[in-house]
Every structure is written in structure tokens, then in C-alpha cells.
Structure 1
Amino acid sequence: MLPIIEYSLSYSAPTGAERDALSALTLTPDARWHERMDHARFVVTALHEGTRVGVGIVHTSVTAPTMVPSPMELGGMFVHPAYRRLGIRQHMAEARLTYALSMGGTPITVIDNRNQASWGYYERSARWTPEREYTGYVTGLPMTIWVSTESSWYRTAMGLNPLVPAQPNTVLPHDASPQRPLALGPDQDNAVPA
């Protein structure tokens, strides 16, 4: 029997005990993690029987050399290993993308090129396109910036009708993008963070 997972949404940076609890889910809650948390605009938390088992954030502390306007990075997503392969990552990814699009930002995500599962997911997805590869400032390793094909910036650049920014909790119309729905990614059992 699958556990019942509940999701909590927050539109501000977590502080105090909440921040400590979310940081405990990460592999390494380092200075970069806390910088992302300081600039969080949206946090989705997965809960099982009141225990935090996953977290995903949208932040504006973008250090990747992206050229897109108003980037909102979907960075810092972690799921406890015991709760992977249950669709939690998919649900949190969808919530983060919807939030960034509803705010009129350009959703980006940065993938460590060593993370083959995430790389494969984004490479197969019609919802993301690579912008560029660069050397990570902290790691010194190859990273790739992926841009949402559903963003107003990308849609305008491709000659499509741009999305109209909405407010938090607004569901974007299903016909806003002809792309297929987000599929469950194989990266849910990978130890390298997304």
C-alpha cells in the first residue's frame, strides 16, 4: 500500500525550525543551499504523516550564466530515499513549474552533467530545452542550464503566443502549451541532487 503524501505550499523563505527541518532533507545543506532558501519565492514540502519527506524550491538567487529575462530557478529539490519512486518529485516539479510560469518568470533548472538520470529526463522532455553548458562556480564541473519551453520568453522567441502571467494559486490553462504532460522522471532514486 502506498503512503498518503500531503503537500504544503509556502510563498516565502522558510526560517527557524522550518528551515532547519527542510535543510535536514538535503545531502549537504551548504552556503549555496541557504542562499537559495534566503531568496525562495515558493517552497513545496511533501509530508507523510506530518513528517517532511521532500522539498522543492523556486528561487531568484540565480548564479548560472543564463541569458533569459526574469529567471526563476527551480533548484534545490530533494526527496528522502525511502520515499522515492512514488511520484513525489513529479508532483513537486509540476507545482514549481506552474508557480514560476504563473509569476511571469522564465523557469530554468541547472543540472550537474554527472547526474545521468536527471540529464536523461530533461533531454527526453518536450517541456525543457538546453540553453547552455558551463563550468560550475562551486564544483568546477560541467553543468547545463535548461529553460522551460512553456515560458513566455521561450514561446515568444519561437513565434508562439506568450503565456499571460497570473497570480499564485492560479492554474494555467491546459491549452497554453501543446507539450505532453510531465512524466515521472527516472532520477528519483539518484543520489545526486536535481
Structure 2
Amino acid sequence: MLPNIEYSLSYAAPTGIERDALSALALNPDARWHDRMDHAQFVVTAMHEGTRVGLGIVHTSVTAPSEVPRPMELGGMFVHPAYRRLGIRQYMAETRLTYALSMGGTPITVIDNRNAASWSYYERSARWAIEREYTGYFTSMPMTIWVSTESSWYRTGMGLAPLVPAQPNTVLPQQLNHVRPLALGPDQDSSVTA
């Protein structure tokens, strides 16, 4: 039986106790991690029995040499190893993409070329295309910028009609498990059932 995963959505940069708890999920919560958190526009957190087991953010602190207008990076995705292969990553990825598109931004994600699992996902997906490869500023390793094929920038470049942003009535992906709303810490805005 699959665990009952609950999702919390926040539309503000996490601070205080919540930020510390989210940073504990990161492999290396360094200065770049905190810069992303400072510029977070949207945070989705996966919870199991009150424990944070996954995190995904949409931020505007883009350091990759992307040439897209209004880039919104879907960065900082983490799922605890014990909770992988349960659909958490896919749900959080879909939720972040939906949010970024609804805000009229150009969703991008930056993948370390050594990350075979991420490469496999983006290569198979028709929803993402390579914008460019470059050498990472922080890692000095080959990186690839992927851009959403649903973004207005990409669609216009391909000669397709741009999609109209869906805000403010964004419909987020439906969850298969039954969930109940989560209460966030006292320093967070609100929580909604995803």
C-alpha cells in the first residue's frame, strides 16, 4: 500500500523554522540554495505523517545563461530516497510547471549532465526541449538548460500560437491519494490541498 502523501503549496519565500526544515531536505544547503529560497515564488512540499519528504521550488534567481524572457526556474527538487518511485517527483514537477506557466513566465530547468535520472526524464518528455548547454558557474561541469515547450517564448519561436496564462484561476494537477490540508508554520502564508 502506498503511503498517504500530502502536499502543501506556498506562494512566498520560506522563512524561519519552515526554511530550516526545508533546508534539511537539501543535499547541500549552501549560499546558492539560500539564494533560490530568497527568490522563491512558489514552493510545493510533500509530507508523510507530518514529516517533510519532498520539496520543489519555482524561483527567479536564475544564474544560467538562458536567453528566454521572464525565466522562472524549476529548481531545488528533492525527494527523500525512501520515498522515491511513488510519483512524488512527477506530481511536484507538474505542479511547478503549471504554476510557472500560469504566471506567464518561461519555465526552465537546469540539469547537471551527470544526472542520468533527470536527463532520462527530460529526454523522454515532449514538454521540454533543450535551450542550450554550458559550463556551470558553480560546478564547472557541463550543464543543460531545458525550456518548457508550452511556454509562449518556445511556442512563438516554433511558429505556434502562444498559450494564454491561466492565472488567477490556475487548476493544479489532481492527486490520486486522498489528502487533507496541511497547516504551515506561523511564518507561512497559507496551505491548500493539492
Query: For the superposition of Structure 1 and Structure 2, which TM-score range results when normalised by the shorter chain?
Result: 0.7 to 0.9
Match of 2:68 in 1: 68
Distance 1:33 1:110 in 2: 14
Query: Which letter does structure 2 place at the counterpart of 1:96?
Result: R
- The two structures have a TM-score, normalised by structure 1, of 0.87
2:167 is matched by which residue type in structure 1? Q
Q: What is the CA-CA distance between 1:166 and the residue it aligns to?
A: 2.6
> How many Å separate the matches in 2 of 1:166 and 1:11?
16
- Measured on the aligned residues, the alpha-carbon RMSD in Å equals 1.0
Corresponding letter in the other structure for 2:73: E
- What letter matches 1:86 in structure 2? L
2:130 paired residue number? 130
Structure 2 counterpart SS, 1:154: helix
Distance change >3 Å, CA 51–CA 169, structure 1 → 2: farther
Structure 1: gaps (5+ residues)? 173-194
Q: 2:22 corresponds to which residue?
A: 22
Conservation of the 8 A alpha-carbon contact between 1:25 and 1:55: yes
Whole-Å separation in 1 of the counterparts to 2:124 and 2:6:
28
CA–CA distance in 2 between the matches of 1:8 and 1:121?
24
Which residue of structure 2 lines up, in the alignment, with residue 108 of structure 1? Answer: 108
Report the counterpart of residue 191 of structure 1 in structure 2. none
Partner Cα separation in structure 2 for residue 45 and residue 86 of structure 1 = 15
Q: Deviations over 1:18-71 (max 9, x none)?
A: 000000001100110000000000000001011110000000000000000000
1:159 paired residue number: 159
Range moving further from structure 2, 74-83 or 161-170: 161-170
Deviations 1:56-107 (A, max 9, x none): 0000000000000000000000001111110000000000000000000000
User: What is the one-letter code of the residue matched to 1:152?
Assistant: S
Structure 1 residue 5 displacement after superposition: 0.2
Query: 1:163: how far off?
Result: 1.0
Structure 2 CA distance, aligned partners of 1:169 and 1:21? 30
Q: Which has the higher contact order (CA 8 A, sep 6+)?
A: 2
How far has the Cα of 1:169 moved from its partner?
5.2
Structure 2 residue identity aligned to 1:162 = P
**Whole-Å Cα distance in 2 between the matches of residues 7 and 132 of structure 1?**
32
Runs (5+) with no aligned partner, structure 2:
173-194
Residue 31 in structure 1 maps to residue 31 in structure 2: yes
Q: Tell me how far apart the structure 2 counterparts of residues 124 and 83 of structure 1 sit (CA, whole Å).
A: 22
TM norm structure 2: 0.87
What are the within-5 Å matches in structure 2 for residues 72-87 of structure 1?
72-87=72-87
- Alpha-carbon distance between aligned partners in 2 of 1:90 and 1:18, rounded to the nearest angstrom: 23
How many residue pairs match? The answer is: 172
SS in 2 for 1:92: helix
Q: Is 1:99–1:168's contact at 8 Å kept on the other side of the alignment?
A: no
Cα distance in 1 between the residues matched to 2:122 and 2:9? 24
- CA–CA distance in 2 between the matches of 1:40 and 1:27? 18
1:157 Cα deviation from its structure 2 partner: 1.1
Superposed CA offset, 1:117-175 (max 9, x none)? 11121111111000110000011000000000000111111111111113255128xxx
Match of 2:96 in 1: 96
